[in-house]
A and B are shown apart, each in its own frame.
Chain A
Amino acid sequence: MSKKYKFIDHTADFGMQVFGSDSQELFTNAALALFDVITEMDVLKGLDSCNITVSGEDWPDLMINWLREVLYLWNGKEMLVKSVQILSLSENKISAKIYFDAYKPDRHIINTEIKAVTYHQIQVKSSPSGWKAQIIFDI
């Protein structure tokens, strides 16, 4: 697997393309890419953990709802995600264990505010060479 994700540049906002050899890797990488934008992940230790479960109507809907939930961990609960362990994943449901650190202003650096995950030009695709997703954020 070469690249896990890359960022796309737009005039008023910001997006990313995420890659994975399978759906689990894709969803894991998407969550990590999100936090790579928000903070400096190197200093995170993943001291605490919690489980989350999210459902969706199809792969794109599931991806958006997953990232919404992961983003809420930061926006709503001030949790910074270090790593993700997917417990189960189908087209309509994902369960995962999230390893995180509680935000400490003197310790963690916040680089970018992400307001929301949008449906704009959302893509989640599988091909013989692997899985790929595109997600645009409102920042």
Chain B
Amino acid sequence: MTTNLKKIDKYRWELPRTGAMRVPGIIYATESMLAGSSQNEPLKQVANVATLPGILKASLAMPDMHWGYGFPIGGVAAFDWESGVISPGGVGYDINCGVRLATTSLVENEIRPRLKELVDALFRDIPSGIGSTGPIKLSIPEVKKVLQGGSRWAVSQGLGITSDLDFTEEGGCMENADPDTVSPRALERGKNQLGTLGSGNHFLEIGVVETIYEPEAASVFGLFEGQVTLMLHSGSRGLGYQICDDSLAFMSKHVKKLGFDLPDRQLACAMIQSKEGTRYHNAMACAANYAWANRQVLMHRSRDVFLNVLGMGPRDLGMNLVYDVCHNIAKKETHVIDGKKQTVCVHRKGATRSFPPGHPALCAEYQHTGQPVIIPGDMGTASYVLAGTQKAMEETFGSTCHGAGRVLSRKAAKKASKGRAIHRELEDKGILVRWTGRSTLSEEMPEAYKDVSQVVEVVHEAGISKKVARLRPIGVVKG
């Protein structure tokens, strides 16, 4: 472990201010998670983020922290809305990469006999894989409508129901999305990719609720033991990558005029209250909205597959959205700092919002439970549903972890899986997998990831979100 880390308590570590750092770093982790040299680079990134103008309280990292570009993945940083910066490196390339969880009225043994058929149909009908394109072809003016409307656009097209919007972070539509800030290249890439899963760690998963930790919250979220669920992990596809890339290109030039040294070019940023800052924010909001529309379409199509394969009506299937969370975003929020309310720009890069009970951003149904927080694990283990807490508001700008986090590089994972049939190993555990990419399965095998349960244990014990339920995968489609 880096020797200059100071233990705050069992689950929190301080990286004291040194050099150009304006605030300290605070890392949520156990001692064993911080052991080994693999944490040196992300810790350096935590320190780098702490040097940016307008940063408030601390540069934070969640227990799934790992090495990113500029900001670490698992990083959270809030900047004063008037005097702080906004940075594409604090959001990531896949803007509004996120997760959506839906429940059904079914229990495991009702779909087991049809599981193979169901997974095959999902694999066939939901486009996945590198550069996958979908059945929805949009004109440029229509892409712009998606960028402005987000999930609302999808619902207006009959690809969802109005109540889905209540159960989506931001109502599935971020304000100030301005398509005029989006390059023709990004718009072009958005034309054919709506309703596609993508590749890499993106997936669609049929799960079963295995354990309930908080019966009251679980009941409000619509979860019960043995229940079949559907989880989706996808983002803004090529349109989002292009917006991030375009923004980094102009900001890396712009930042030189600001008169401060960046420890890493990938931290290129602009003052929030500048033309350039507004331009990035409003373009990022477009990508965020595209991602919400994408996940809304993906869920709608998946619901159709369930209905067709199982030969039942929507009422019997009872597929309801629990929540849709984003884990790569920068947002305008109000937080209390030193006893005073302050408007800030919270960057969450590989971190999930964890708003507490009573927060005005939550729909009426979740006012007493706090926000559902969806944490996907690797494809062979488990996923979790947590709930947001007041402590997250006090300590982490209303944020928690986002997933397991890689421990093996893709090459190392391929090496470790050589001579093994990963899909068969999963099948032996009762998990059916379909995949597109040649090396997807070996790169994404369970051992390539940290143990999600350990990550979740830290955020639960630290109190920045609390465990509600644990889900076990039974069918997975990977890009």
Report if B164 contacts A (CB, 8 A). no
A72 to B238, CA, bound (A): 10
Contacts of B242 in A (CB 8 A): 75-76
CB neighbours (8 Å) of B73 from chain A are 12
List the one stretch of B284-292, B298-306, B409-417 in contact with chain A: B409-417
Q: How far is the CB of A77 from chain B (nearest CB, A)?
A: 9
Contact A122 B412 (CB under 8 A): no
Determine whether the beta carbon of B93 is less than 8 Å from that of A116: yes
A53 at the interface (CB under 8 A from B): no
* Closest partner residue, chain B, to A10 (CB atom): B409
Q: Is the CB of A113 within 8 A of B130?
A: yes
Segment 157-191 of B: residues with Cβ below 8 Å from A: 185, 188-189
Q: Which residue of A lies closest to B130 (CB)?
A: A113
A1-37 contacts to B, CB under 8 A, are 7, 9-14
Q: In the assembled complex, which residues on chain B have CB atoms less than 8 Å from the CB atom of A119?
A: 69, 248, 252, 264-266, 268
Q: Which residues B226-265 have CB closer than 8 A to chain A?
A: 238, 241-242, 244-245, 248-249, 252-253, 264-265
- Flag whether B200 is at the interface (Cβ < 8 A): yes
Residue of A11, A118, A122 near B66 (CB, 8 A) is A11
Q: How far is the CB of A100 from chain B (nearest CB, A)?
A: 15
| CB-defined contacts of B130 to chain A, threshold 8 Å | 110, 112-113
User: In the complex, which residues 60-99 of chain B have their Cβ closer than 8 Å to any Cβ of chain A?
Assistant: 66-70, 73, 93-94
- Contact present for B253 and A118 (CB under 8 Å): no
Q: Which residues on the B side are within 8 Å of A65 (C-beta)?
A: 249
User: Interface residues of A, CB < 8 Å — how many?
Assistant: 30
Confirm or deny: A57 has a beta carbon within 8 angstroms of a beta carbon on chain B.
yes
* Interface status of B273 (Cβ within 8 A of chain A): no
Q: If A65-B249, A78-B131, A113-B200 touch, does A9 touch B241 (CB 8 Å cutoff)?
A: no
Assess whether A115 is in contact with B67, with CB atoms less than 8 Å apart. no
Contact with A along B113-130 (1 / 0, CB 8 A): 000000000000000001
Please tell me if the beta carbons of A113 and B406 are within 8 angstroms of each other in the complex: no
Residue A111 at the B interface, CB < 8 A? yes
A138 at the A/B interface (Cβ < 8 Å)? yes
Inter-chain contact A116/B241, CB cutoff 8 Å: yes
- Which residues between 39 and 57 of chain A lie within 8 Å of chain B, taking CB atoms? 57
Residues of B within 8 A of A125 (CB): none
A118 CB to nearest chain B CB (Å): 5
CB-CB under 8 A from A116, the residues of chain B are: 93, 241, 244-245
Chain B residues with CB under 8 A of A122: 265
**How far is A10 from B131 in the complex, measured between Cα atoms in Å?**
23
Q: Report Cα–Cα, A10/B130, bound state, in Å.
A: 21
Interface presence of A97 (CB below 8 A): no
User: Closest CB of chain B to A81's CB: distance in Å?
Assistant: 15
List A contacts of B185 (CB < 8 A). Answer: 72, 76
Q: Tell me the complex Cα distance, A11–B73, Å.
A: 12
B439 touches A111 (CB 8 A): yes
Q: Is A109 an interface residue (CB 8 A)?
A: yes
B342 at the interface (CB under 8 A from A): no
The interface of chain B, by Cβ under 8 A from chain A, is: 38, 66-70, 73, 93-94, 130-131, 185, 188-189, 198-200, 238, 241-242, 244-245, 248-249, 252-253, 264-266, 268, 406-412, 437-439
Chain A to chain B contacts (Cβ below 8 Å), 7 pairs: A9-B410, A11-B406, A12-B66, A12-B68, A61-B252, A78-B131, A116-B241
Residues on A facing B (Cβ under 8 Å) = 7, 9-14, 57, 61, 65, 68, 72, 75-76, 78, 109-113, 115-120, 122, 136, 138-139
